[in-house]
Structure 1
Amino acid sequence: MEVPNWAVFLDPTVTTWISELDDLRYDRVAAAIDMLTTLGPSLGRPLVDTISMSSFANMKELRVGTCRILFAFDPKRQAILLYAGDKKGAWHDWYRQAIPIADHRFTRWLAQESGGGP
């Protein structure tokens, strides 16, 4: 039986961030994204956790060492990778900065997908 893959889209800033990683972190992040592509919403801890401070109940984080990628599944069940960074040394402050940006980008994505945005 063939397992379907889940669509995963990356914000351009996430693509840039990933491209600037060293080889080891790049490989680990790429493997985590591959798992998200394979398992979709069923991928859970320790690789994925829910973000409680987001405006969106379905906002999650992909966790690879100290690297984090905030993402959400849209109504079409596509994963949208919205914001990425390394929270090493900034465990609490990182979320205060990252979550509003991810929320804004997801709002923009939803508007574009519904035909109401740029």
Structure 2
Amino acid sequence: MPTRRWEVDTTLIHDWIIGLDEATQDSVLSALEYLANNGPTAGRPFVDRIHHSRHQNMKELRPRSPGGSRQLRILFAFDLQSHAITLIAGDKTGDWNKWYRDNVPAADDLFDRHLERTTEKKKQKKQRKGKRR
């Protein structure tokens, strides 16, 4: 029986990933693969819940940094279609609390917009379907 894979949308962090050195990029891609394979059940030490978010399901992915010198984080949440939407990524080294203070509200806003777009698309699809009857 095949195991389920979850869709991981990296649109918002694509440029960040491309800008990484090859070893770090490999580490980030491995972490994203882990998320795709484990979905909402992914847990510590690779995934942890974000506190102080408006979204109860906001989490962070913690890719391993080559050499362990950097503290990479990717903020994400699963939407209503069970897709992991990556929102903001960066290195919080030396900026522990400030990184979250700055980025969690921004990730909340991005996820709000994603949910609004998804809801609007669903409404439009339903309206088109109703007109065909």
> Tell me, which stretches of 5 or more residues in structure 2 are unaligned?
65-70, 122-133
Does 2:14 correspond to 1:15? yes
Distance between the aligned counterparts of 2:61 and 2:31, measured in 1?
7
Structure (1/2) with the larger helix percentage: 2
Q: State the shift of 1:98 in Å.
A: 0.5
Counterpart in the other structure of 1:43: 42
Distance between the aligned counterparts of 1:81 and 1:49, measured in 2?
14
Q: State the shift of 1:95 in Å.
A: 0.3
Q: State the shift of 1:11 in Å.
A: 3.5
Task: With the length of structure 1 as denominator, give the TM-score of the two structures.
Answer: 0.93
Percent sequence identity over aligned pairs: 44
| Larger Rg computed on CA atoms | 2
The number of equivalent residue pairs is 115
Distance between the aligned counterparts of 1:31 and 1:86, measured in 2?
17
Task: With the length of structure 2 as denominator, give the TM-score of the two structures.
Answer: 0.83
> Tell me, which stretches of 5 or more residues in structure 1 are unaligned?
none
Structure (1/2) with the larger strand percentage: 1
Question: What is the RMSD computed on CA atoms of the aligned residues?
Answer: 1.1
Counterpart in the other structure of 1:68: 73
- The 8 Å contact of residues 11 and 83 in structure 1, kept in 2 or not, is answered as no
